[in-house]
Amino acid sequence: MKRSLPVVVALATALACLGGAPALAAGTVPTGSASSGTTAAPAAARATAAPSVPRSVTVVASGATGAVISWKAPATSGSGSLLGYSLDGFVGAAKQPISTEWTSATTFRYDDLTPGVTYRLQLKAWNHDVASKPVTVSYTVPTTPTTPASPTVFAVVGGQIVSVPSTGGAATVVAAAPASGGWDVDAKGVTVLDSAAGTLVRHDLANKATTLATGLVGAAELTVDASGTAFVNTADGGIAKITATGARSVLAAPFGSKGKQLSVGSDGRLVVLYAASGASFYTTARSYPAGSSTPTADTPYSRSYGFYDMVAGPTGIYYTHDNAGGGTGFVSWLLQTGAGAPSTPSPSLSTRITTNAGGYGNDGVFHSLQAAKICFGYSPVNPCVADDTLTELVASPAAGTTTVVPASGLRVSPTGSSVDADTAGTVYVADAATSPGLWSVAGSGGAAKLLLAGAARDVKVRG
């Protein structure tokens, strides 16, 4: 039976019946598995002579973080029949035991060992309660990085949260998309807030659902950090912090407007956008550094026109999706200096005035789609024909040079196209308006590739 590390030692009881068997302390320790199963050492008449030592002991790698130890039976079993073998693992100069295992086989596999760590494995042969002298071998887990898994793309399609490989293929349903609340993705799961039901449910990599919290009726906003910890804007205007294991605490008592925008940046900082009491639009930003319940000083946010979305970047920088106001109706993404930092003008992330859509990617870059041409109003003297065809892909790092590359293959909607990117800079677009479907565009530009047909929204990428 294969078991991953760490687990609680379960052999103390089985070995306790042997008067001379090694004592085990219960606790969280790594274990492995016998390739032909583990057996408990039966009670029997005591032998008076120990077996000779196991022979030809070797240990080899098995996968990136596993190892298999093999041996031959001892030449003699002593004064009783050979029952099996015990394995003890040690790490570090203090010889802290990492496991004790019992097996009747002559091979044993350890899983989930730590890269770069040297393990000393001590093997003994047993006949009833008498052990041979130990044979000790050492094994250092390689530190060569494993090939990362391909990114997975998530979106809402047909009322369901689905996942799709980054190269395209069949969609896998994760959960029903909530009518109100929200959902977010981290490396090990998908967390769904259903505001109507008042539940927070986490779906792990095997799509097993676990309810983390209840009593969240009316909660309006959800964001999740890299560890799977969820931050929820509760109905009373406070912020709840709920870990991936369901531990719940209050990050902030109610303040400002009940409705808030929440987003966790790439440095783990939670950025909160809210309206001061009595205001009808968002007025203020604050942030909570990773692991802290003490916010930075608030920063004014004074855009009073149409507001669509906010996403956090690094070090308190955040991006807002706003309407420019006036008669133009121009919608664009703006770079905000940062919650807790001095207020400065908010530069547009578009390189020209045109129809655009954008999002902050896992590569730490803000990516924008730019269309061919936008028109403002109507003039019979000089008529304008709008063209929302994608022509450019813009990459804007928080610090550094903005790049623009040609792109094509879909139409851009400022409010109907959702954008994200993976760690390699490949851009993914969920569109429910002008080019319905889930799309990918290489960071170097070129034609968009359709990953999944059908109206899609709220794209999110793992990896």
Per-residue pLDDT at 458 exceeds 50? yes
Q: In whole angstroms, what is the distance from residue 210 CA to residue 194 CA?
A: 13
Contact 68, 107 (CB under 8 A): yes
* pLDDT value at residue 302: 61
Q: Other CB atoms closer than 10 Å to residue 247's CB: what's the count? A: 11
Contact 346, 334 (CB under 8 A): yes
Is residue 385 very low, low, confident or very high in pLDDT (cuts 50, 70, 90)?
confident
Per-residue pLDDT at 328 exceeds 70? no
By C-alpha distance, which of 42, 134, 55 is closest to 87? 134
Angle, alpha carbons 335-340-345 (nearest 5°):
35
Residue for token pair 């799309």: 439
Per-residue pLDDT at 8 exceeds 60? no
Amino acid at 224: V
Per-residue pLDDT at 22 exceeds 70? no
90-145 pLDDT, tens digit each:
887 666 666 678 888 888 888 778 888 888 889 999 998 789 999 999 989 888 65
Read off φ and ψ for residue 14, nearest 5 degrees.
-60, -35
Cβ within 8 Å of residue 42, ≥6 positions away: 17, 83
Domains of the chain: 7-140 (2.60.40.10), 152-462 (2.120.10.30)
Least confident piece of the model among 248-262, 349-363, 368-382, 397-411: 368-382
Q: What is the pTM of this model?
A: 0.68
147-183 pLDDT, tens digit each:
557 899 999 999 999 999 999 989 999 999 999 999 9
191-213 pLDDT, tens digit each:
999 999 999 999 988 889 999 99
58-101 pLDDT, tens digit each:
888 877 778 889 899 999 988 888 999 999 888 876 666 666 78
Q: Other CB atoms closer than 10 Å to residue 206's CB: what's the count? A: 6
Residue for token pair 């205001």: 279
Q: What is the mean pLDDT of residues 331-349?
A: 67
CA dihedral 332, 267, 221, 199 (to 10 degrees): 150
Structure tokens at 321: 């999706």
Residue for token pair 């790594």: 30
Is residue 379 very low, low, confident or very high in pLDDT (cuts 50, 70, 90)?
low
Tally of CA atoms within 13 A in the half-sphere of 217 that contains its CB: 3
By C-alpha distance, which of 243, 261, 245 is closest to 301? 261
Per-residue pLDDT at 224 exceeds 60? yes
Contact 160, 177 (CB under 8 A): yes
Is residue 2 very low, low, confident or very high in pLDDT (cuts 50, 70, 90)?
very low
Q: In whole angstroms, what is the distance from residue 50 CA to residue 75 CA?
A: 12
3 state SS for the chain = CCCCCCEECCCHHHHHCCCCCCCCCCCEECCEEECCCCCCCCCCCCCCCCCCCCEEEEEEECCCCCEEEEEECCCCCCCCCCCEEEEEEEECCCCEEEEEEEECCCEEEECCCCCCCEEEEEEEEEECCEECCCEEEEEECCCCCCCCCCCEEEEEECCEEEEEECCCCCCEEEEECCCCEEEEEECCEEEEEECCCCEEEEEECCCCEEEEECCCCCCCEEEECCCCCEEEECCCCCEEEECCCCCEEEEECCCCCCCCEEEECCCCCEEEEECCCCCCCCCEEEEECCCCCCCCCCEECCCCCCEEEEEECCCCCEEEEEECCCCCCCEEEEEECCCCCCCCCCCECCCCCCCEEEEECCCCEEEEEEEEECCCCCCCCCCCCCEEEEEEEEEEECCCCCEEEEEECCECCCCCEEEEECCCCCEEEEECCCCCEEEEECCCCEECEEEEECCEEEEEEEC
Least confident piece of the model among 35-39, 130-134, 329-333, 377-381: 35-39
* pLDDT value at residue 399: 77
By C-alpha distance, which of 413, 447, 445, 448 is closest to 431? 413
CA–CA distances in Å: residue 176 to residues 151, 191, 213, 351: 22, 12, 17, 38
* pLDDT value at residue 32: 39
